[in-house]
Amino acid sequence: MTCITGVSGSGKSTLVNDTLFRIATRELNRTNINPAPYGTIKGLEQFDKVVDIDQGKNISEALEMTVEVEMHFLPDIYVMCDVCRGKRYNRETLDILYKGKNICEALEMTVEEARVFFDAVPVIARKLQTLLDVGLSYIRLGQNATTLSGGEAQRVKLSRELSKRDTGQTLYILDEPTTGLHFHDIKQLLHVLHRLRDHGNTVVVIEHNLDVIKTADWIIDLGPEGGDGGGRIVTSGTPEEVARHKTSYTGKFLKPVLRKHVKGTVRSERKGVR
């Protein structure tokens, strides 16, 4: 797992989203997207696909339970459908039950409740488990995508990737996936990202969170400042190597975090010996 770090405006998104992702998409997914100007790139032959797990939302499903009303002198509005009353299904469909619940009632369940409810259906249970793995136990199955935060939408996409057949040659790109997450959810997310890495995939993460950065296999620190003072590689290496760099802002704040982490590890090992 590689973390791209640096102060705001140092060029992280330009490097990863506008350059790396677009080049990889053009070469691997055969698109016509144009990347930002660059010199050369090596190593794309190691991948069979690239996946950008961003925080965008799909709003099309929000329109399935509404009807568009054309207003002649005002913008068009959407009102609740008179047929389904916002349930998205007709009466015939709602009359069909599974274990005492119709589809509308099933969609009102949280992921955690549904994982137990559909335990006897492996194909569904596996997909629900991936949502649990990324810390989304509390969302409802039928929850409108527009009500999800950017971080939640990103984790839904991540869970979808986890449910797919893993080739071990995928390049995953995430832009600040820990935004708005509780530290417990961050721990779960890290477990998932490390799992992808351990299966042979490459994970590139733009991140400011030191709890994520300290677990990286490699760090590329951009800067030294933002805007016109950024866009250069200040240092790169393991977390320990970056922490020793004298002019890296990331290294400056990473050093005490690593020191604390080492002390905690030693303390745990001593308890184990006892």
156 and 129 share one domain: no
| pLDDT number for residue 168 | 92
48 and 178 share one domain: yes
* pLDDT values of the chain reduced to their tens digit, one per residue, 274 residues: 999 999 999 999 999 999 999 999 999 988 888 999 999 999 999 999 999 988 765 544 444 545 555 656 667 666 666 656 566 778 888 899 999 999 999 999 999 999 999 999 999 999 999 999 888 999 999 888 888 888 788 888 889 888 888 789 999 999 988 887 778 888 888 988 999 999 999 999 999 999 999 999 999 999 999 999 999 999 999 999 999 999 999 999 999 999 886 655 544 444 554 4
Rounded CA gap, 199 and 195, in Å? Answer: 6
Rounded CA gap, 132 and 120, in Å? Answer: 17
Overall residue count recorded for the chain in this entry: 274
Domain with residue 63: its CATH number is: 1.20.1580.10
Q: Is 237 left (phi over 0), alpha (psi -120 to 50) or beta?
A: left
Rounded CA gap, 270 and 65, in Å? Answer: 59
| pLDDT number for residue 274 | 46
DSSP string for residues in the chain: -EEEE-STTSSHHIIIIIIIHHHHHHHHS---PPPPP-S----GGG-SEEEEE-S----GGGGTTEEEE--SSS--EEEE-TTTTTSSS-HHHHT--BTTB-HHHHHTSBHHHHHHHTTT-HHHHHHHHHHHHTT-TTSBTT--GGGS-HHHHHHHHHHHHHTSPP-S-EEEEEESTTTT--HHHHHHHHHHHHHHHHTT-EEEEE---HHHHTT-SEEEEEESSSGGG-SEEEEEE-HHHHHT-SS-HHHHHHHHHHHHHHHHHHHHHHHHH-
90 and 170 share one domain: no
69 and 21 share one domain: no
193 and 255 share one domain: yes
Q: Which of 96, 123, 147 is the last residue of a domain?
A: 147
47 near 202, Cβ under 8 Å? yes
158 and 270 share one domain: yes
| pLDDT number for residue 155 | 86
156 and 179 share one domain: yes
142 and 183 share one domain: no
| pLDDT number for residue 270 | 44
235 and 181 share one domain: yes
The tokens of 105 are what? 């009632």
Domain with residue 220: its CATH number is: 3.40.50.300
Please state the domain count of the chain: 2
70 and 201 share one domain: no
| pLDDT number for residue 73 | 62
β-partners of residue 236 are 220
Question: What is the pTM for the complete model shown?
Answer: 0.79
| pLDDT number for residue 134 | 87
209: containing domain: 1-57+149-274
Rounded CA gap, 1 and 260, in Å? Answer: 21
Q: Which of 118, 147, 176 is the last residue of a domain?
A: 147
Q: Which of 147, 176, 193 is the last residue of a domain?
A: 147
187 and 125 share one domain: no
99 and 43 share one domain: no
pLDDT, tens only, 103-114: 999 999 999 999
